[in-house]
Structure 1
Amino acid sequence: MGVVIPLEEKSADRLIEPLTTLVAGDMARVNQTILSRTGSEVTMIPEVANHLISSGGKRLRPILTLATAGLCGYSGDGHIKLAAAVEFMHTATLLHDDVVDESDMRRGREAARVLWGNEASVLVGDFLLGQAFRMMVEVGSLPCLDVLSGAAVVIAEGEVMQLSAAKDTETTEDAYLAVIRAKTAALFAAACEVGPTLAGRAKAEIAACRGYGANLGIAFQLIDDALDYGGSSAKLGKNVGDDFREGKITLPVVLSFRRGVAQEREFWRRTLEKGEVVDGDLEIALATMKKHRALEDTIERARHYGAMARDALELFAPSPWKHALRDAVEFAISRAH
């Protein structure tokens, strides 16, 4: 299998339905909170924020915050604001990412930076981060504030790590995994950690939820990496091959470069390091990845991290929450089949 063949969208979505059903009531409150907190007298702020917030996306990270709170028996209201804060943090990073990556598409629509400019995208991202931290303070849990503020620092570090490694075909697999642990997995981990933290659960359970989120986050990103070369625009919310055209070094590239002969490595240097992409290069990239099983092995690594995410849940007694969270791992990985 050289090119990833996605399942029908409904097949993958069916795996996430148990989780979305369990959190439906709370998620409605989170969405209401999100909409109320994007309000501002500065007209451009709600325009830019709502362009991205209302453009779809499964809101997986806030769903995980609600679900791990449910798993741990939390019965208050604080998880609603924390879930909204998690979504604002994620949205802010997307706004910033699109500026750094010079992306034109996000979730199947023109990126905010194309419509309003880079400056507005960065500043509205900052506004959303500010609102996120305001909600964390309102919840009044110093440990939760510590978890999410720590994640914000790690995410920013990951962005800089990725920037310093940009277009570097010599990037190792370990170095790449370090970037996605910071850029992607850190917020998944924090989203899953604040629920049990808010519920005052034992350290072992908090660590288990964090481990679940971190490993799920890595698996999720690795599948996204594979989908960029073998998915569909509808599933990705951007154009297939955008990572290639933007010169991004992702795991399929790392594996193909390492396993390639001199001529193939020179191809990656020309297209990704120098940015000299011509018609037909994406097809050559796909053929090279097929030859070296790069997409297959990227998906296998995602399965490995998915298995670790499921194992982390074994600490908890059987419940609808536990089963739904296990299904969420399958959802993340099944997107690549």
Structure 2
Amino acid sequence: MSADIIPLHDRRSDPSLDPMLALTAQGMNAVNSVILGRMQSEIPLIPALAGHLISGGGKRLRPMLTLAGAELVGYQGSRHHKLAAAVEFIHTATLLHDDVVDGSEMRRGKAAANIIFGNPATVLVGDFLFSRSFELMTEDGSLKVLKILSGASAIIAEGEVDQLTAQRRIETSEQRYLGIIRAKTAALFAAAARIAAVVAECDEEKEQALDEYGRNLGVAFQLVDDAIDYDSDAAAMGKDRGDDFREGKMTLPVILAYARGSEEERAFWRDAIIGHRTSDADLDHACALIARHDALSDTRDRARHFAQRAVDALAIFPDGKARQAMVEAARFAVARGY
């Protein structure tokens, strides 16, 4: 099969997630029905806490990748609805656990679940959602799907632990940082896209292409998220500006600014990352240093590189609404400000 050349950049319009939303709207209704049903419990706290985050207006990009991938390969069944819900449960569970680990106060523009319900309940409901996701996987009956999603869950956990051990360590390299985001973010993007090819019984080439699309899109998405922490405000992000800075996370904007800085600037970063410089004025200074050394623009440039790799992976598929929506999603991922 010949491959097309698909440009990431398109000057005709501003990037939008609308084509992906339109493509998957009907399927997402079915997915949301599964999510609503499976988050229920006789213990009232469980649906209350889970619903606080699940109904909080997230983009639902990961389950949309499963649905879009199914459209791309012409799958006509309905197995992917439950599996897309399983993907969203995995993602939601990791968000709940992350907010506890990070001590986050905001998520998607409102108070984080741990602030309202407390850390113990938030962790346990995250565990409940993980369990629900595995129920959905086993009901599907495919060992290959189970292997892909369970493997991704383990990789996500490893990535989160690796990020925790890299926290407040100024010597963290760009290579290690990329390894962390490939695990904690890109692994689930890759799995979400790949399982669409599995349920459609596609050949290995198409499976790998969807895996590559999701994996590279996930890296691009996280790179932009990490840039946004230093160039947006809380209203746009739905979380506190500078969270990564105050938590001592070594994200790419900091890694680049530190590597390019003077000794005086590096001294500031060393103090900031270990937690000695966390005021609003310190954050403003950090943003100024990042801007001085073009660390944000270079972070977004790297994001565009990975987004182009995601788009390139789609070249083996015929052109159509599904491929166009997935290309547009990659464009949106790197151009967004929230």
Shorter chain as normaliser: what TM range?
over 0.9
The 1:12/1:44 distance shift into structure 2, 3 A limit, reads farther
Deviation above 4 Å: which 4+ runs of structure 1? 11-14
Q: Does 1:133 align with 2:134?
A: yes
Letter in 2 for 1:204: E
**Offset at residue 13 of structure 1 (A):** 8.6
The RMSD of aligned alpha carbons is: 1.5
Q: Does 1:238 align with 2:239?
A: yes
What are the Cα deviations for residues 212-267 of structure 1, in whole angstroms up to 9, with x where unaligned?
A: 00000000000011111112323311022111122211110010111111111111
Comparing 15-24 with 204-213, which one deviates more in the overlay? 15-24
Q: Does 1:98 align with 2:75?
A: no
Aligned to 1:319: 320
* Normalised TM-score (structure 1): 0.95
**Offset at residue 274 of structure 1 (A):** 3.1
Conserved? CA contact 1:216–1:329, under 8 Å: yes
Conserved? CA contact 1:270–1:277, under 8 Å: no
Conserved? CA contact 2:236–2:337, under 8 Å: no
Count of residue pairs the alignment pairs up: 327
SS at match of 1:58: coil
Correspondence list, 1:45-194, <5 A: 45-194=46-195
* Inter-partner Cα distance in structure 2 for 1:324 and 1:274: 42
Structure 2 gap ranges (5+): 1-11
Q: Does 1:288 align with 2:289?
A: yes
What are the Cα deviations for residues 266-309 of structure 1, in whole angstroms up to 9, with x where unaligned?
A: 11111111343234111110110111110010000000000000
* Inter-partner Cα distance in structure 1 for 2:213 and 2:277: 40
**Offset at residue 14 of structure 1 (A):** 6.1
Letter in 1 for 2:226: D
Conserved? CA contact 1:69–1:195, under 8 Å: yes
Structure 1 gap ranges (5+): 1-10
Conserved? CA contact 1:56–1:107, under 8 Å: yes
* Normalised TM-score (structure 2): 0.94
* Inter-partner Cα distance in structure 1 for 2:190 and 2:230: 27
Q: Percent identity?
A: 53
* Inter-partner Cα distance in structure 2 for 1:243 and 1:115: 21
SS at match of 1:280: helix
Correspondence list, 1:5-84, <5 A: 15-84=16-85
* Inter-partner Cα distance in structure 1 for 2:13 and 2:85: 25
Letter in 2 for 1:169: I
Letter in 2 for 1:263: E
Conserved? CA contact 2:66–2:80, under 8 Å: yes
SS at match of 1:239: coil
* Inter-partner Cα distance in structure 2 for 1:223 and 1:237: 15
